[in-house]
Amino acid sequence: MEKIPSFTINHLTLLPGVYVSRIDNTPSGDKLTTFDCRMTAPNREPALSISALHTIEHLAATWLRNSPLWRDRVVYWGPMGCCTGNYLILSGTPSPEEVRDLLRDVFAFISEYDGDVPGATARDCGNYLLMNLPEARIVATRYLNVLTAPDCPLVYPD
C-alpha cells in the first residue's frame, strides 16, 4: 500500500505552526485546502489531552461557523488522531498567512472564553463530559503565542 502524503512529513523536525497539508479537487471542480494546525512538536512535546482537544473542537468549530468572513468556506475543523493539533479544511486555496491570521482570532477567542462550552450537553454531544475548558484555554494561549510570533512556521520542513 502506498504511504499517504501526510505520513511523509518528517515529524521529528515539525514545529507548531500552520501548514498546507493538501489541496484536493472535487469532482465538481472545486478546490479544498486542508491545513495542518500543529499545536505541539510531535514526539518531542506531550500530546494534547483529549478533553482539551475536544473543548477546542467545540469552541473553534462554533467560532468558525459563525464567522461572517469564513463560515461559507469552512468544510471541517477537528482534532488529529495523534493529538498534536487539528485539521482545518476550507473551500478554495487561502494562503497559510491568511489562515494563520484567522487562527489568531479563533485562538484569542478560545484563550479568553469563560462560559458554557457550546454543544457540551448530553443532547448535543456524544461525549459531553469529556471537556476541560481551563486546560483548553491554556493550550489555546500557548498556540496563540506561536501564531503571533514573527517566525510562525508556515511551510513544512524538509
pLDDT for res 8: 87
Structural fold of domain 16-146: Gyrase A; domain 2 (3.30.1360)
Where do the structural domains in the chain lie, given as residue ranges?
16-146
- The DSSP bridge partners found for residue 130 are none
pLDDT for res 6: 84
pLDDT in tens, 78-91: 999 999 999 999 99
Percent of the chain topping pLDDT 70: 100
pLDDT in tens, 93-110: 999 999 999 999 999 999
Within 10 angstroms of residue 13's Cβ, the number of other Cβ atoms is: 12
**d(C-alpha 76, C-alpha 64), whole Å:** 10
